[in-house]
Amino acid sequence: MGVDNGAVLVTGLGATTPLGGDADSTWAAMLAGESGIGPIEEEWAAGLPVRIAGRLRVEPSEVIDRVRARRLDRCEQVALIAARQAWADAGAPGVEPERLAVVIGTGTGGALTMLGQDDVLEASGVRKVSPHTVPMLMANGPAAWVSIELGARAGAHTPVSACASGAEAIAMGLDLIRLGRADVVVAGGAEACICPLPLAGFAQAKAHSTRNDEPGRASRPFDVDRDGFVIGEGSAVVVLERADFAAARSARAYARLAGAAVTSDAHHITGAAAEGQVRAMRRAVAEAGLAPRDIGLVHAHATSTPLGDLVEAESVAEAIGRHPAVTATKSMTGHLFGAAGAVGALAAVLALRDGVVPATRNLERLDPAVGLDVVAGAPRRGALTAALTNSFGFGGHNASLVFTPAP
């Protein structure tokens, strides 16, 4: 098949997050302004400066059988759960295996397995190390397991670009279809790394909130009192289809993935640069065939860090303008790192479908330097012409996606 530059539709959604065990419950909780962030009760957290996180609302053990779960890292488990949901939601498209691809991004992959098995090795020796260690810790594990589950033979890809991974995976899915390499792509992100080392590292970097006594108020993007992000875990996955393929099977579409762009800052390993973010947004909007004034909603990356939120606010104002409604759902889920961009895509798609923008939780006093129309207090209703989502990651990775209503 030659290059196909036709429309690409979102026909399936799946998720497991700190707000819910599927896409519908996650979305309902977002609209209700719920928080998925709570205290870490395990003993290992007692001596850490950070003792809060966005844990899954539904444990994978309630969904995946025990034998299977023992051979999967938690990151692989959540990816498989979300992909199964998305595939079923799309009606299990009857696509040839050689025309079906998988792209699941992650930031840390099987970090829990790697750290846990290293502890086993140190404490009990090599004979106690699990023979499943390597397939469980490898970053491509989530994509590999999803491809095996669905029989996808057009490629199983794994963007690893820190907090931009999930969005970059969806952008790659768009490219695969437009280049004629697949008719259907299962794309998204997965992350599960709530354990001592990342928490200690982020605390030392002064990046994580230490509002341990008020977990539900800790993640507060754009608020003047924000003091850092809150780590979260989970996965979100979308099914992308070439429009004519979806039409041939009378598939229901949530939205159109109209444009995407990926840029890099080449600036600083952890510091954000407005210029790279601006280029990503402008390219995504242009690729969608739109003008900045057409964007009615921006789902901000907005992690709740003092500097990062301001850099993004400056970038949005320059690239898009100050007219769009802006929402920051990490205020409810926490920061799901490699899955964050996919969760943002899910929120944008459902906002377009329902004509409603979730309010940003904990936004009590908007930082006057932000200068954007950030939705707070209650969801805002009204028809939306287009939505843009941002995802930015350590290393200078920037990814923007543009969605428009389903045709």
CB proximity list for 296: less than 8 A, separation 6 or greater: 324, 325, 384, 385, 386, 387
Our CA angle for 135, 139, 145, nearest 5°, is: 55
Our CA angle for 378, 383, 389, nearest 5°, is: 75
- CB-based contact 381:355 (threshold 8 Å): yes
The DSSP result for 60-126, as a single string, is GGGTS-HHHHHTS-HHHHHHHHHHHHHHHHTT-----GGGEEEEEE-SSSSHHHHHHHHHHHHHH-G
What the block records as the tokens of 378 is 């209650």
Q: Which of 157, 208, 299, 335 is catalytic?
A: 335
The DSSP result for 315-338, as a single string, is HHHHHT-S-SEEE-THHHH-B-GG
Q: Which of 75, 163, 193, 195 is catalytic?
A: 163
323 is catalytic: no
- CB-based contact 375:387 (threshold 8 Å): no
Q: Which of 157, 208, 299, 301 is catalytic?
A: 301
Q: Tell me the Cα Rg of the chain.
A: 20
301 is catalytic: yes
CB proximity list for 101: less than 8 A, separation 6 or greater: 152, 154, 155, 156, 157, 173, 176, 181, 182, 184, 185, 186
Left, alpha or beta for 50 (phi > 0: left; psi -120 to 50: alpha)?
Answer: beta
Residues with a catalytic annotation lie at: 163, 301, 335
